[in-house]
Amino acid sequence: MASIWLIPFFPLASAVLLLLSTGRMPRQFAALLGAGSVGLAAVCVALLARAFLADQEVREVTLWTWMTVGNFTPRIAFYIDGLTVVMMSVITGVGFLIHLYSIEFMWEDESICRYFAYMNLFVAAMLLLVMADNLLLLYLGWEGVGLCSYLLVGFWYRDPNNGKAARKAFVVTRIGDTAMALGLMLLFTELGTLDIQPLLAAANSQWQTGDTLPILATALLLGGAVGKSAQLPLHTWLPDAMAGPTPVSALIHAATMVTAGVYLIARTFGLFLLAPPTQEAVAWIGLLTLLLAAFAALAQHDIKRILAYSTISQIGYMFLALGVSAFASGIFHLVTHAFFKALLFLAAGTVIHCLHHEHNIFRMGGLRTRLPVVFWSFLIGSAALAALPFTSGFYSKDAILLSAWEVPGIGPWLWAGGLLGALLTGIYSFRLVFIVFFGEAHHEPERQPGWKMALPLVLLCALALAGGLLVLPLAGVFPHTGHHQPNHLVEYISIGTPLLGLLIAYLLFLGRQVSIDTLVESPGGSALRDFWLGGWRIDPLYDALWVRPYTALAHWWRKEPLDGVYNGVVTVVQWAHHKLIATQTGELRWYATTMVFGLVLLVAIMLRNAA
């Protein structure tokens, strides 16, 4: 398979063509090129995956040496193992379905060329990220997907709010990226290479578990991961990033890019195993994030923001898995999450599309009969999200919770927290279903989805339901963590909790046995709702901590304070100039007098020196 490079090349070439056409390409052409190139890449990945499953051989391909400076020799090279194959399949497979869906979703947009150009560029960058054999090339993909995310969040650039959301997404993730870049520098300085496999080997031989350097290096990498994967404390950009077109949210902000942080940690797990404190921090960050985002999701009324907070929360589960060394479970949840969350976003996009850009769930309702395909998609997606038994989400989340339980010491706490999160997930996901699809209708849909939108939904439904049966080829990648002790009580509680969440959601939002309104309208209730609606008020906090001081500083310095110093010099020179000019009177008498005084002074000094 020397032609592995074709896989990122197809979408990249298509992106370049679309960009060069500067919007003049007919939309049929643009759509064909945009979706077709990703489809072609998906076919290639399928062939690659089949070959890999047959021989389980790691494939390495070097295209060229990026640069050589001393012993710094990063290459443009790919490293394809089981983890890479899994990621590539998700990116191109789910990516293709989303591209297909986009054709119909974006058909009436005047900038459809630009849209597919950015989407293709994103797929290419994301493929580079997961295929890279060294951390510098990974960083190229990492920044590339960040740029595409920026471009697509701000796709509808005429609304300044979209621009603001796009910049926020880029800058907040860049904070993490900068930490990651420093981590790369530390790793290179210490270990002399950035090629991932040699680097892990060198780290293992040079460092002891618990040394300062691996802790520091992994902490810096973790900075990059929390930024990209929208985890605490850098999660604030993701809810705002929903300003982009909905298929973008499905592809970038649910299925692929936001899970890049999970991939990074899984890819460099050898380093994290050398740094137990960082790894424990990963677990706690995951747990805190998943709870915080789940509570925030409860209070949202924008359909996409609910899904955004739920994405943050589900990635929290993946971090929890990585933190308790259940790497394969974390990646498994990444895959199933890609299925059901892409499904949910595409279904939400269809609702928005058919209801004329309506985002507020309280202005929807009764769509069960009016948009049946969407209803079933949403139902299946939500069931998988809530991890109801036998859906894909059930298998992956269950594995994570069991692994957390088995961690000595803090395990039960992590497990309990994860369980609370599962309960909340059940509540918020079915709150969404009950409010949007049941009850009385507020709007009639103005159209029905066509086949290009319906087909991806149906296929993703199948994956969301049956994805749990997949066996990912990760055995050769991660260390074997041992069999789970069958603890039936724990097992039953894990299964029952999402069902309890479903029941609570039913009682609150469909059966109306408990009046949610009185709860929310009580003083404490409304304060709490506003607090969660505002995402725990973290945005205002960061505003006060970082944004306003920075803008104030910039405003204060705007006129170049240093010029004051130089202007001071100018003033002194001008002053001296005027004083000295005053001595030039043109009067002979004055000149003679000063000359005599000068002479006397000179003679006096000479005499003094002589003496």
Partner 1 sequence: MSMALLILILLVGGLLAWRSEKAQANLPRWVALATVVISLAFLLATLPQEHTGNWLQHMKLDWMPRFGIAFELAMDGVSLLLLVLTLLLGLVAIASSWSEIDFKPGLFHANLLWTLAGVCGVFLAVDLFLFFLFWEVMLIPMYLLIAIWGHENKTYAAMKFFIFTQASGLLMLLAIVVLAWQGMAINGQLSFSYSDLLGLELDPRLGWWTMLGFFLAFTVKLPAFPFHTWLPDAHTQAPTAGSVLLAGILLKTGAYGLLRFCIPLFPQASMEFAPVAMALGVAGVLYGAVLAFAQSDFKRLVAYSSVSHMGFVLLGLYAWNQLALQGAVMQMVAHGVSTAALFMLAGALQHRLHTRDMGRMGGLWHQAPRMGACAMFFAVASLGLPGLGNFVAEILVLLGLFAVQPAFTAVAALGLITAAVYSLRMLQQAFQGVPDKQRSMPDFDAREMLAMGAMMAALLWLGLYPQPVLDLARPVLEGLQTLVPPGDTVAAQAGGAAIVLGAGL
In 386-410, alpha helices (H): 392-405
Query: How far apart are alpha carbons 344 and 330 in whole angstroms?
Result: 20
Cβ proximity to partner 1, 566 vs 597, nearer residue: 566
Asked whether position 275 contacts partner 1 by CB under 8 A, the answer is: no
Query: How far apart are alpha carbons 187 and 204 in whole angstroms?
Result: 13
Asked whether position 446 contacts partner 1 by CB under 8 A, the answer is: no
Tell me which residues in 212-271 interact with partner 1 (CB under 8 A). Answer: 212-213, 216
Kindly state the tokens that stand for 128.
Answer: 């580079």
**How far apart, in Å, are the Cα atoms of 463 and each of 10, 393, 456?**
25, 11, 10
The mark string for 492-531 relative to partner 1 (x by CB under 8 A, - otherwise) is ----------------------------------------
Cβ proximity to partner 1, 107 vs 157, nearer residue: 157
Cβ density class 141-160: b for 16+ within 10 Å, e for less: bbbbbbebbbbbbbbbeeee
Could you tell me if 179 and 243 are in contact, meaning their C-beta atoms sit under 8 angstroms apart? no
- Which of 9, 21, 43, 190 contacts partner 1 by CB under 8 A? 190
Asked whether position 208 contacts partner 1 by CB under 8 A, the answer is: no
Residue 512 amino acid letter = R
Asked whether position 154 contacts partner 1 by CB under 8 A, the answer is: yes
Closest C-alpha to 89, from 256, 229, 225, 230: 256
Distance of CA 392 to the CA centre of its chain: 22
The mark string for 11-50 relative to partner 1 (x by CB under 8 A, - otherwise) is --------x--xx---------------------------
Asked whether position 576 contacts partner 1 by CB under 8 A, the answer is: no
Asked whether position 182 contacts partner 1 by CB under 8 A, the answer is: yes
Cβ proximity to partner 1, 56 vs 65, nearer residue: 65
Residues in the chain: 611
Strands 59-65 and 75-80: antiparallel
Tell the smallest beta-carbon distance from residue 222 to partner 1 (Å).
12
Could you tell me if 117 and 18 are in contact, meaning their C-beta atoms sit under 8 angstroms apart? yes
Query: How far apart are alpha carbons 110 and 112 in whole angstroms?
Result: 6
Query: How far apart are alpha carbons 293 and 337 in whole angstroms?
Result: 16
Could you tell me if 260 and 232 are in contact, meaning their C-beta atoms sit under 8 angstroms apart? no
Handedness of CA 341, 246, 371, 310 (dihedral sign): positive
- Which of 1, 32, 58, 186 contacts partner 1 by CB under 8 A? 186
Tell the smallest beta-carbon distance from residue 562 to partner 1 (Å).
5
Tell the smallest beta-carbon distance from residue 556 to partner 1 (Å).
9
- Which of 41, 76, 91, 287 contacts partner 1 by CB under 8 A? 76
Asked whether position 533 contacts partner 1 by CB under 8 A, the answer is: no
**Size of residue set near partner 1 by CB under 8 A:** 56
Cβ proximity to partner 1, 185 vs 596, nearer residue: 185
Tell the smallest beta-carbon distance from residue 246 to partner 1 (Å).
20
Kindly state the tokens that stand for 38.
Answer: 């990703």
| Candidate ranges 143-151, 278-286, 317-325, 404-412; the one touching partner 1 (CB under 8 A) | 143-151
Q: List the end-to-end C-alpha distance of the chain, in Å, as a whole number.
A: 97
Kindly state the tokens that stand for 284.
Answer: 């706690």
Tell the smallest beta-carbon distance from residue 5 to partner 1 (Å).
14
Asked whether position 203 contacts partner 1 by CB under 8 A, the answer is: no
- Which of 47, 53, 514, 553 contacts partner 1 by CB under 8 A? 553
Asked whether position 170 contacts partner 1 by CB under 8 A, the answer is: yes
> 449: which DSSP letter?
-
Asked whether position 488 contacts partner 1 by CB under 8 A, the answer is: no
Strand partners, 132: 78
Asked whether position 143 contacts partner 1 by CB under 8 A, the answer is: yes
Could you tell me if 286 and 317 are in contact, meaning their C-beta atoms sit under 8 angstroms apart? yes
- Which of 11, 34, 144, 349 contacts partner 1 by CB under 8 A? 144
Residues that bind partner 1 in the complex, under the rule CB under 8 A:
19, 22-23, 64-70, 72, 76, 136, 139-140, 143-144, 147, 150-151, 154, 157-158, 160, 163-164, 166-167, 170-171, 174-175, 177-178, 181-182, 185-186, 188-190, 212-213, 216, 550-551, 553-555, 557-558, 560, 562-563, 565-566
